[in-house]
Amino acid sequence: MQIYLDHGATTPPRPEVIDTMTAVMQSQWGNPSSLHWWGERSTMIIERSRLQVASLINADPEGIIFTSGGSESDNMAMIGIARQYAQPQHMIISAIEHSAVRIPALFLEQNGWAITRLPVNQQGQVNPEDLAKSIRPNTVLVSIIAAQNEIGTIQPIEKLGQICRNANVLFHTDAVQAIGKLPIDVQAMPIDLLSISAHKFYGTQGIGALYLNPIAHQRSPVTLILGGGQERGYRSGTESVAAIAGFGIAAELAEKELYSESIRLTQLRDRLFTLLADIPELVPTGATGGDRLPHHLSFYHQNYNGRQLVRELNYAGIGISSGSACSSGAIEPSSTLLALGYSEDQAKNSIRITLGKSTTTVDIDWTAQAIHQILQRLDSCPAKN
């Protein structure tokens, strides 16, 4: 039996996506920039997908720019806006951003920009008052992750965005983990820029979008990829028509299933939390209940390294992930867990379990049993970690 519980890393492309992409690759492979029939058909596919993706977040389709995924969208938001300015200014991010925001912020800092990293509480939430106090006259962008990939915590995005709107500062959110799990309405919420990635909701890897509202358009972020001027000049390069088509159908189906899947996954998630609650050494991290992504569980173990637990579960046929990263041969603790106030050891011992469309009650019960058995076996061995 194999159980994939790492949907936060990537999701398998759903059959409708594979069918759509296969059909497009077989018969609609024209270059969308070409003026002939083949090109026009590809353009129509792209524009239909733009409508589908826009609908998922209730956006004006004009605001959707297709990119190669979440990382490019985040880079485009941060560096694209920064390149508007002749002199370095100020940006604000949270202390628990994904590296696709964290590293561009570091890059800007190395180039003279001032960067404020807002602290979070032990659940991983930013305090809106801290944001309000951090805005300076030269703050040009605030970027706060909508739902955190390692700990599943959902931020008070509406409050944070409203503070930015009141201060006339652009607000970007990396919604890569939130899209398809949480209702996001960019017209009702004060969001100026938003990053999306298709492979987190059953599209394919290598395709995503940056949403820009008219306010962000007016401050014209500068393109990162120069060339033929596709995507209205924001993103040059021949579009991956098949991937965009798959993205569109994945978005349409995610919108249809959003509420039913969220309820189903929340029940499964809570079932697994309950089944593991009798292991005192396995301590949940991040937020609880409604402030947590419906498919997301995270823990640290008091004794065992997260990577060791991932390996042990892998031997049992179960795929999960750890929060620690391997850098230059050394195990780096999760910077997110450190920002939440956990020790280096706790941060190295973190794991994440993320459920998905294929997850059943049987998978949950099997996984809980496997975790119990693995920990009992490790506990009975003298060498720990």
List residues near ligand PLP by CB under 6 A.
69-71, 74, 98, 100, 145, 149, 174, 176-177, 197, 199, 208
Q: What is the largest CA-CA distance in the chain?
A: 71
Q: Which of 326, 373, 379, 384 is catalytic?
A: 326
Enter the DSSP assignment of 190: T
Q: Whose Cβ is closer to ligand PLP: residue 71's or residue 359's? A: 71
Nearer to ligand PLP, 197 or 266 (CB): 197
Shortest distance in whole angstroms from residue 178 CB to ligand PLP: 8
Residue 64 C-beta: closest distance to ligand PLP, Å? 15
Q: State which residue, 76 or 82, has the beta carbon closest to ligand PLP.
A: 76
Residue 333 vs residues 230, 314, 344, 348, 381: alpha-carbon distances, Å: 40, 21, 6, 4, 24
Radius of gyration of the chain from its Cα atoms, rounded to whole angstroms = 21
Q: How far is the CB of 98 from ligand PLP (least distance, A)?
A: 4
Q: How far, in Å, CA of 117 to CA of 106, rounded? A: 11
> Shortest Cβ distance from residue 69 to ligand PLP (Å)?
3
Name the residue among 84, 79, 80 with its Cα closest to residue 107.
79
Nearest residue to ligand PLP, by Cβ distance, number only: 70
Give the count of beta carbons closer than 10 Å to the beta carbon of residue 139.
19
Burial class (CB in 10 A: 0-12, 13-18, 19+), 381: exposed
H-helix or E-strand spanning residue 299:
strand 296-301
CA torsion, ordered 105, 110, 115, 121, to nearest 10 deg: 70
Backbone angles phi and psi of 49, in degrees to 5: -65, -35
Residue closer to ligand PLP by CB (options 74, 252) is 74
Nearer to ligand PLP, 21 or 375 (CB): 21
Rank residues 135 and 307 by Cβ distance to ligand PLP and give the closer one. Answer: 307
Nearer to ligand PLP, 340 or 370 (CB): 340
Tokens of 174: 């990396």
Tell me how far apart the alpha carbons of residues 89 and 80 are, in angstroms, rounded to a whole number: 13
User: Which has the closest alpha carbon to 276: 353, 378, 355, 334?
Assistant: 353
Residue with tokens 């106090």: 133
Q: At its nearest, how many Å lie between ligand PLP and the CB of residue 291?
A: 16
326 is catalytic: yes
Within 10 Å of residue 310's Cβ, how many Cβ atoms? 18
State the minimum distance, in angstroms, from the CB of residue 187 to ligand PLP.
Answer: 23
Least distance from ligand PLP to the Cβ atom of residue 310, Å: 16
Pairing status of strand 90-94 against strand 325-327: unpaired
Backbone angles phi, psi at 169, to 5 degrees: -115, 135
* 234/67 Cα distance (integer angstroms): 9
Return the SS3 of 32: coil
Catalytic site positions: 326
